[in-house]
Amino acid sequence: MRRALDLAAVAADAGEVPVGAVVTLGDEIIAEARNAMRGNLDPTAHAEMVAIRHAAMRLGRPRLDGCTLWVTLEPCAMCAAAIALARFEALRFGAEDPKGGGVVHGARIFSQPTCHHRPDVLGGIGEDEAAGQLKAFFEARRT
């Protein structure tokens, strides 16, 4: 999670919402990304989506069985659906997202009967730092 938090800080410095994501296979980082929606002019360039694409390319397969996704913020519904489709073994996230989350809030993608794969989910890892990054980012935008 430390690397994901560092990537979130890089995103904030670039004017992006501070979210970072890392894909691991065992103890090895195989992909990492930060939010890049503004810079890429791509509404789907969430940190999770970019990291998933990089991991699939690196492994040469569309399914990421055995991999863990570490992300600083609870994934939205789009990202949660991609996590299920990629067949991640586990999802670890920092701060919950009551407004835009799709895992423990909102759509609760993994709880839907149409969801064919449910990763092991654990939230709250690095939560204080992740939430602090988000709070500082949005407070700076309001002043």
Q: How far apart are CA 104 and CA 42, in angstroms?
A: 25
- Any residues with CB less than 8 A from the CB of 108 and at least 6 apart, and which? 102
Residue 32: CB atoms within 10 Å: 20
Q: How far apart are CA 125 and CA 64, in angstroms?
A: 22
Q: Which amino acid is at 76?
A: C
The verdict on whether residue 76 carries a ligand-binding annotation is yes
Question: Which residues are catalytically annotated?
Answer: 48
The verdict on whether residue 115 carries a ligand-binding annotation is no
| Contact between 47 and 71 (Cβ < 8 Å) | yes
CA nearest neighbour of 69 among 85, 52, 56: 52
Q: How far apart are CA 20 and CA 18, in angstroms?
A: 7
Could you list the residues known to form a binding site for Zn(2+), using ranges.
Answer: 46, 76, 79
